[in-house]
Amino acid sequence: MKLNLFYAALLSPALLYLSACGSDASDSSGANRTPPQAEDGHDDHEDGSDEEHESHDEADGDDHEGHEEGGGHTEHEGEGGDHVELTAEEAEAAGIRTGRAQTGAVSGQLELPAEIRFDADRVARVSPQVEGTVAQLYAGEGDIVKAGATLARLTSRELAGLKADYLNALSAERLAQAELEREENLWEQKITAEADLQSARAAFAAANAGREAAENRLHAIGIGHGTLDKLNEAADGSLAQAYVTAPLAGEVIQRSVSLGETVSAGGAPIFVIIDDSVVWADIAVYKEDLGKVSEGQTVTFQQEGGRVLAEGTISNVLPVINEASRTATARVIVDNAEHRLKPGQFVTARIDTGEGRPVVRVPSDAIVSVEDRISVFVPTDDGFEPREVRTGDSARGYTEIISGLEADEAFVAEGAFTLKAQLEKDAFGDGHAH
């Protein structure tokens, strides 16, 4: 009995400890059951977060779509900025006139390259006619000279010798003539023999031939009768003075001598003079276009950008095809009194072939470039706006409209450049590049 009580006393603390452990275990198992509930709650939170995230994405998407729509609206407003607001009174004061597109004929044209050349009959390459030394120069490159103007003075021993020969021949002729006259008087008085008369006649003929030969040599180097008649009265040293003169009026484009330089007859030109008041325009005609080109057709010459430089008609089509370029040459003799065309310049030739056709057309001045687009201005309720068009051939101040403007539709016929300038000014102020 005592022994049992003793074991009971020993086991009681152990039982109490086990009971406590069981309670802890029970609490622990209860705590262990809590996490699943917490996990369920976390799942619910995650689901809610996803819903909120999706809601936020949808909101962002709406905002983004709204931003894109807003951006598109802004761009649309930018396009709407290509507009000039003007009242009818303001437009009239600015010289803006409207008209309606009409149907008319625009002649068919060929557009071909052309080169401006000197008229070969209006170019002078001046060389001295005698050998000499350049003593004085009267003209230089860029000078405008008249026909017969003195370009240079030479000192020439050759010329002095030719003039001396002429004077000697002239003197011999005069003596022979006087001798002949004396013999004729004696013959009439029956004082001299006929043989003496015939001898005097022969001497005079020889002297006359000698004088004519000397004179012709001087004529060959440009010495005229006016100079020859005054040779006997010429000052000392003047016989050696030779003058180089301009054979035609024009501009000196080259001078290749200096003072003191020795030049020779028949050598390289010392002056080149051109008269470009009339020039040749040689058009390169491709062989497939030869059948469309003929004499008498009207040609307009334009530089890059469309500016008209001159007009003319084809004078002839040369009957030779260049082997290298496979083109023929149509030549136009162009009046160049205003000196717009320069020899060596390349231009565009527009040949009116006469193949007209009815098209919608507007005056060429009504067409402008707006933001690198070919356009015409059309009226709106409160002003004017540019409209892009596609153009075709141009002739006689009119341009074909292929698309963008219909027949009888209103457009700005006068003042398009004024509207373009105003449009660019407004755009610059708005910070919008046109």
For residue 24, pLDDT beyond 60: no
Residue-wise pLDDT for 326-384, tens only, equals 999 999 999 999 888 999 999 999 988 766 668 899 999 999 999 899 999 999 999 99
Quick one: pLDDT at residue 291? 85
pLDDT of 148 over the 80 cut: yes
Phi-psi region of 33 (alpha: psi -120 to 50; beta: other; left: phi over 0): alpha
Instruction: Kindly tell me if the per-residue pLDDT of 22 is higher than 80.
Output: no
pLDDT band at 262 (very low <50, low <70, confident <90, very high): very high
Per-residue pLDDT averaged across 101-126, rounded? 88
In the block, tokens 């162009």 appear at 334
Collapsed DSSP state (helix, strand, coil) of residue 178? helix
Q: What is the mean pLDDT of the chain?
A: 80
> Is the pLDDT higher at 19 or at 248?
248
Q: Three-class SS of residue 339?
A: coil
Q: What pLDDT, on the 0 to 100 scale, is given for residue 147? A: 95
pLDDT at 8 over 80: no
Sort residue 339 into left (φ over 0), alpha (ψ -120 to 50) or beta: left
Q: Are 337 and 277 in contact (CB under 8 A)?
A: yes
Minimal CA–CA distance to 124: which of 243, 273, 293?
A: 273
Q: Which pLDDT value is given to residue 427? A: 67
- Which pLDDT does position 137 carry in this prediction? 97
Report the relative pairing of strands 410-414 and 97-100 from DSSP bridges: antiparallel
Q: How many other CB atoms are there within 10 angstroms of residue 373's CB atom? A: 13
Say if residue 285's pLDDT is above 90. yes
* Check whether domain 109-119+275-352 has CATH 2.40.30.170, yes or no: yes
Distance of CA 7 to the CA centre of its chain: 128
Note the pLDDT of residue 106. Answer: 67
| Segment 101-112 mean pLDDT | 80
Band (181; pLDDT cuts 50, 70, 90): very high
Identify the three-state secondary structure at position 266. coil
Mind listing the pLDDT tens digit for each residue in 71-94?
333 333 334 458 889 898 998 999
The pLDDT-based confidence of 56 (bands split at 50, 70, 90) is very low
pLDDT at 290 over 50: yes
Residue 145: HSE in the Cβ half-sphere, 13 Å Cα cutoff: 26
CA 386 – CA 399 distance, rounded (Å): 17
Q: Rounded to whole angstroms, how far apart are CA atoms 45 and 58?
A: 19
* CATH of range 84-108+357-424; options 3.30.70.890, 3.30.110.30, 2.40.420.20, 3.10.20.340: 2.40.420.20
Could you give the 3-state DSSP secondary structure of residue 237? coil
pLDDT reported for residue 66: 40
Give residue-wise pLDDT tens across range 368-401.
Answer: 999 899 999 999 999 999 999 999 877 668 888 9
Fold of 123-155+240-274: OB fold (Dihydrolipoamide Acetyltransferase, E2P) (2.40.50)
**Hey, where are the domains in the chain?**
84-108+357-424, 109-119+275-352, 123-155+240-274, 157-233
Q: Which of 96-105, 180-189, 198-207, 350-359 has the lowest mean pLDDT?
A: 350-359
The residues pairing with 358 across neighbouring beta strands, listed in sequence order, are: 105
Does the pLDDT of residue 31 top 50, yes or no? no
